[in-house]
Amino acid sequence: MRFPEFSGEWEMSSIGEQFELYSGNTPSRMNKNQFDGSINWITSGELKEHYISDTKEKISEEAAKNNSLKLLPVGTFVIAIYGLEANGVRGTCSITTRESTISQACMAFTSKMDIQNEFLYSWYKKHGNIIGIKYAQGTKQQNLSYDIIERFNISYPCMEEQKKINYVF
């Protein structure tokens, strides 16, 4: 889709060139204090809506620190990377509306330069299912890895056109 006021070719770049990628971790459930906090902890099953503001489970600051869980800023794009063989998991993604952490079944994308997370959301909603089918690895459990994701190419327009696309969609 192109708007009449925009012309020229879209840029092409790899995800790794455009985004910092981060995968999370799961705190030990043996220590009940780790899941007795107020920090959002996103699991792949919660990536069903465009925006995610609350999570079923919350972790403590101690859990985040002890498990090297990065506190993701508001507006972070997150996808499911584990269990892609399950119905409804492949291609799921959300954008955070609160600072959050993620489980190891998710990957977070923070833009380095030229691509807005809202544009990435629209792009992944269109291509995520096919990416999962084509690139997921594993026999019982289908997963995407950091190495695979960082090499994906994405074409994108200038920032003004991205904003207009985001507004329309």
Token digits for 32?
């009940």
d(CA 15, CA 22): 12
Q: What percent of the chain has pLDDT over 90?
A: 78
Please give the pLDDT value at position 1. Answer: 63
Instruction: For residue range 140-166, list pLDDT tens digits in order.
Output: 899 999 999 999 999 999 888 898 888
Mean local confidence (pLDDT), 106-119: 92
Instruction: Please say if the pLDDT value at position 128 is more than 70.
Output: yes
Token digits for 58?
């919350």
Three state DSSP letters for 15-63: HHHHEEEEECCCCCCCCHHHHCCCEEEECHHHCCCCEECCCCCEECHHH
DSSP annotation of 90 reads: T
Q: pTM here?
A: 0.92
Structural domains in the chain plus CATH codes: 11-168 (3.90.220.20)
Instruction: For residue range 52-110, list pLDDT tens digits in order.
Output: 999 999 999 999 999 999 999 999 999 999 989 888 899 999 999 999 999 999 999 99
